[in-house]
Chain A
Amino acid sequence: MPDLLFEIGLEEVPARMIASAQAELLRRVQALLAREQLLGGSDAEMPAPDPTDRSNGLSYSTPRRLAVLVQGVRAQQPDITEEITGPAVKIAFKDGKPTAAAEAFARKSGVPVADLKTITTPKGEYLAAATVRKGRSAMELLAAELPREVAALYWAKNMYWRPGKPERFVRPVLWLLCLLGEEIVPMEFAGRRAGRVTYGHRVLHGEAPIAIREPASYVSQMESAFVVVDVEARRQKIRKALDRATRAIPAIVGARWREDEALVDAVTHLCEWPDVLTGSFEPAYLALPEEVLVTVMRDHQKYFAVEDGDGKLAAHFLAVTNIALTVENAPIIRQGNERVLRARFNDARFFWEFDQRIPLVDRVALLENVTFQKDLGSYAKKSERVRALAAVLIEAAKAGGAALDATAVDQAALLAKTDLTTELVKEFTELQGIIGGLYAASQGLSSSVADAIYDQYLPASAGDAIPRSAEGCILGLADRMDTIANMFALGMEPSGSKDPFALRRAGNAIVRILAEANLWLGLNDLLTASAPGEELRARLLAFFMERVEFYLREGRGQAYDVVQAVMAPGVGSLRDLCARSQAVSEARGSEDFLAVSAAFKRMKNILAQAEFAPSGGTILAFPKGTPEGDLQIKYGEVLSIVGRCRESQDYRKALEVIATIRPQVDAFFEKVMVMDPNPEIREGRLLLLAMIVGGLGTIADFSKIVTAG
């Protein structure tokens, strides 16, 4: 069976969009082939193709092309035998003779009346005909269907280019190549007709067209035209070249290039034929903060930084080129890149020195002119709110036993946003916070102030650490909580896929800090400190419950039912919640624990069905030796141990102890009928169950643990 090769030639596609488009194109082509029964075994035997099987497809891309290669495509759809249902037998035949309805059906299905079958359906007996639908050729189908799949590709930003605006695509389409085996598939898209011709590297190979002989020769033919179409191969080529170039840097012991997966990815999608160039800059620039130098290199120039064996930045950079370097062109390209970097570093140095003329403390007043949000006023106002909120949080944390430098937090909160007025942050917005921290340190502020400012936006994503110091954590909490509470108060909370102020991300950061920092602060402390009014607090609580659930599941990998179980008794301290959820996850393996969970479910069902509300009245003391009495005694023992375990947050032990109640629970359910006709006995038994459910359910609502299977 032939292979299918399809390539779309384009003007340079934005690097950030290539990987997903490449994957989507393959998915679409494979789904199309599966849908049309053009995949799978030989034409003769025809096993049903597994639509999820993607092992026969390969995909390629460069900035100038997307391509897919699917192996083993049928040249022809199999003929399909179908059974079509006709009229009911009682309508089709009158007195044993076919009626007009039967004849019409026979005509329609192309089968003589005599060959019609009778089938039995739930609605009665019906006529049926077996018809054969002739399979179409892959050529014909692909020519008709492939353009639709191409047109449906998702692009984050599309464009029109042809007069009359017949189609939108990411960039103008320059050519199409589509081969089934050695034959051209006559498909068309965007005014281009597919052929077997493609083009190589723009400079290294030039304009000469390349005729691809057959799909299998695509990769190697492109390679000889200076295009590495396989993305992984290109990535490896770049990594190896980076290693080689780093090793060749003279006089640096243990030199390494700074690993940066995102940057490797970006440059991989900017090249067809990558090479790596080593450049250097004057060591005097190393006096600038490393953060600034690395940002200039990475974000503005897509250069890799180089460090020595101690991790100190070296005065070198690595640039990935889209051309093979030679003795002739390397010095020219190096010189150009070095000049650009020099100009950029010069600018950064200028800003760094210029900004220091106005120290951060004098920039507080400037924040009055920087709008935070139109209804919430300036950043000066926000800073004041954050200071006040931080002060309340510090009191709460101190009451819990945390050690904190309240003056440092206050000063950090006052200065946290002042770097927004600096030229350096205007130039490198991605460094806000960090720049403020660097200026604070260089202007002689204490390291607890500088670090808190530096870390204020941490964690910005799931991979980030939380702020290094308790002071930084308090600042980060107060800043975000101020934003969230005020946005909610204005009714600008996230809904569905809309979260324009990234409040969910801020909420995630708050949850992580509360769960991972040693602050003795609970969500309630934050809510009461930041949100006036029950209604607002309720909305915020609901928002944070989602964030907490997200954190436990995504951040801690906890199972859905465990998360439900441990959140049911209330969230309180997130550190405590995490400890409970960890313990429940671990206990899930124990059979006794699962049995107790199942028993909890039963108890809750009984209580719910009885609509039992404890009146707080008499607690019957059941005699020892009866199932109720034994359970009651055992519960008492368990509860007191569990209480002690709770104190020390030893939830693993608590759960082990709880699991030991199983024999008494089992005996109780085996021998006792809770809903006794005698209301006094009934009430007593229900009350016992309610006590157990309530008393032991403070660690987790075990009834939510999935026990079946």
Chain B
Amino acid sequence: MPSVVANHPLTFQELLFALQRFWSEHGCVLQQPYDLEVGAGTMSPDTFLRVLGPEPIHIAYAQPSRRPADGRYGENPNRLFRHTQLQVILKPPPENVQDLYLQSLEAIGIDLAQHDIKFEEDNWEWPVGGAWGVGWQVMLDGQEITQFTYFQQCGGMDLDPISGEITYGLERIAQFLQDLDSIYDIVWLRDPASGRELTYGQVRLYEEQQFSAYSFDYADIPSLWQHLNLYEAECKALLERAGTTLDEKKLAASENPRGDRLAALRFPTLGAYELALKCSHAFNLLDARGAISVTERVGVMARIRNLIVGVARIYAEQQRLNRAFEAPTPAQPELEPAR
């Protein structure tokens, strides 16, 4: 049956499929988006925590990323409160990682002979996560379409092996492929039977309008401060308990090694991380509401940094102890790096 969608550039969802298929075929675990508010795919535990420690992992996932201050009530054709990143983590990065990336562009219909591609220096840093890396912004005909980073540090800890991170900005790429001035005109879906098109605006505009209004006008400032304080307090309490539960000496000298090691294995580091993420999002909302003065800003960011870096530390320690005591490891897909 001849398809009515032939000769069209990829729709938004076809773009997502194509990239996911590509990386799946190169040995990546396809993970679902993390179901919590994050500002970037990097903040998902599938990146931020998995890059720690020695276990190789190749993983890819789409991550809706919320940045309350970037909302424009749906009126700016190029800025979004929530955009979608396709995040790929390759640990360690295969030698031909740049070639793989270029092949992934071919896989979404970009014929490099017909375009101008440049890798321009762009180093990435997330001070709140004690994380940084070096890399490039990938420019295609003057448009930044990807952030390509070699992670060097995370949670203030040196990484070994390092991870390669490829972050595709899906809206930008779709806009590029479909040659559009506005994100909202991106064809999200083209019905294969009828050829009927549904645009990004039809699918998402109301979200942009409402969440911009919420972030800028409605979000209740005292409540947000309360949220932040509550999440912080619980996260801190967990971090403190981690100190005793994950104490190597105590575990070694334990009279109930099975029980204590199981307790160490089950210690909810991931739960603590979610609480830290909640704090981060509350901070972003407060920031968008203009509720954080410059003097306060540094202090609040330091509080969140303590949580996030603290979680990274106990995560690394927990993983190390698990390996040391040869306890059953948590579901951590271990794959040979793709070649």
Give A contacts to B, CB under 8 Å: 11-12, 14-16, 63, 157, 159-165, 171-172, 174, 202-204, 207, 270-271, 277, 301, 303, 319, 321-323, 328-329, 332-333, 335-337, 339-343, 346-347, 350, 369-371, 378
Contact = CB atoms under 8 A, between A and B. Distances in A.
A163 B119 contact: no
Contacts of A323: 113, 115-117
Contacts of B134: 157, 159, 171
Contact of B118 (A270, A346, A371): A270
A63 B152 CA distance: 22
Contacts of A160: 152, 160, 162
Contacts of A319: 116, 142
B142 A343 contact: no
Nearest to B140: A336
B152 A163 contact: no
Please classify how large the interface on chain B is, using the bins under 10, 10 to 19, 20 to 34, 35 or more: 35 or more
A346 B77 CA distance: 9
Nearest to A157: B134
B24 interface: no
Given A163-B161, A336-B143, A337-B142, A12 B115 contact: no
B152 to A, nearest CB: 6
A15 to B, nearest CB: 7
Contacts of B226: none
Given A319-B142, A369-B293, A332 B176 contact: no
Q: Which A-B residue pairs are the 8 nearest by beta carbons?
A: A336-B141, A14-B121, A12-B119, A337-B142, A321-B116, A163-B161, A340-B142, A329-B114
The prevalent SS among residues of B at the interface is mixed
B161 A322 contact: no
A624 B81 CA distance: 95
Nearest to A174: B95
A157 B121 CA distance: 11
Contacts of B119: 11-12, 63
A527 B13 CA distance: 66
Contacts of A329: 113-115
Contacts of A303: 142
10 contacts: A12-B121, A16-B121, A160-B160, A319-B142, A333-B116, A336-B115, A336-B143, A336-B176, A343-B181, A370-B294
Contact of A322 (B93, B118, B295): B118
A159 B152 contact: yes
A340 B143 contact: yes
Interface string B96-127: 00110010000000001111111111010000
Contacts of A157: 123, 134
Given A162-B161, A333-B115, A333-B141, 20 more contacts: A15-B120, A159-B133, A159-B134, A161-B93, A165-B160, A202-B102, A203-B112, A203-B113, A323-B113, A328-B114, A329-B114, A329-B115, A333-B114, A336-B179, A339-B181, A346-B77, A346-B78, A347-B76, A347-B78, A369-B293
Contacts of A321: 116
Interface of B: 76-78, 92-93, 95, 98-99, 102, 112-121, 123, 133-134, 136, 140-143, 150, 152, 158, 160-162, 176, 179, 181, 293-295
A181 to B, nearest CB: 30
A657 to B, nearest CB: 61
Contacts of B98: 11
A332 B293 contact: no
B117 A270 contact: no
The prevalent SS among residues of A at the interface is mixed
Contact of A371 (B114, B160, B294): B294
Nearest to B292: A369
A165 B159 CA distance: 9
Given A11-B119, A165-B160, A301 B142 contact: yes
Contact of A332 (B92, B114, B120): B114
A337 B76 CA distance: 19
A15 B141 contact: no
A355 to B, nearest CB: 15
A253 B268 CA distance: 71
A645 to B, nearest CB: 56
Contacts of A336: 115-116, 140-143, 176, 179
A589 to B, nearest CB: 51
A227 to B, nearest CB: 15
A174 B98 CA distance: 11
Nearest to B176: A336
Contacts of A15: 120-121
A322 B143 contact: no
Most B C-beta atoms less than 10 A away, residue of A204, A301, A332: A332
Most B C-beta atoms less than 10 A away, residue of A277, A335, A341, A369: A369
A12 B139 CA distance: 13
Most B C-beta atoms less than 10 A away, residue of A164, A319, A337, A343: A343
Contacts of B120: 12, 15, 270
A185 B99 CA distance: 28
B160 A163 contact: yes
B110 to A, nearest CB: 10
Contacts of A162: 92, 161
Given A157-B134, A161-B93, A341 B142 contact: yes
B221 to A, nearest CB: 16
Most B C-beta atoms less than 10 A away, residue of A164, A277, A319, A329: A329
Given A157-B123, A159-B152, A322 B142 contact: no
A203 B119 CA distance: 13
Nearest to A165: B160
Contacts of B77: 343, 346
B212 to A, nearest CB: 15
A332 B115 contact: yes
A598 B287 CA distance: 70
Contacts of B121: 12, 14-16
B297 to A, nearest CB: 9
A118 B119 CA distance: 67
A102 to B, nearest CB: 57
Contacts of A16: 121
A333 B176 CA distance: 11
A534 B235 CA distance: 53
A347 B79 CA distance: 10
A281 to B, nearest CB: 12
B78 A163 contact: no
Given A329-B113, A342-B181, A159 B150 contact: yes
A446 B181 CA distance: 39
A487 B256 CA distance: 60
B117 A322 contact: yes
A277 B116 CA distance: 10
B150 A163 contact: no
A275 to B, nearest CB: 9
A342 B78 CA distance: 11
Contacts of A172: 95, 150
Contact of A350 (B76, B160, B161, B295): B76
A378 B294 CA distance: 9
A159 B123 CA distance: 11
Contact of B295 (A63, A340, A341, A371): A371
B80 to A, nearest CB: 13
Contacts of B114: 328-329, 332-333
Contacts of B133: 159
Contacts of A342: 181
B178 to A, nearest CB: 11
Contacts of B76: 347, 350
Contacts of A350: 76
A50 to B, nearest CB: 38
Contacts of B99: 207
Contacts of A347: 76, 78
B324 to A, nearest CB: 20
Nearest to A160: B162
A203 B117 contact: yes
Contacts of A271: 118
Contact of A161 (B112, B116, B143, B150): B150
A303 B142 CA distance: 9
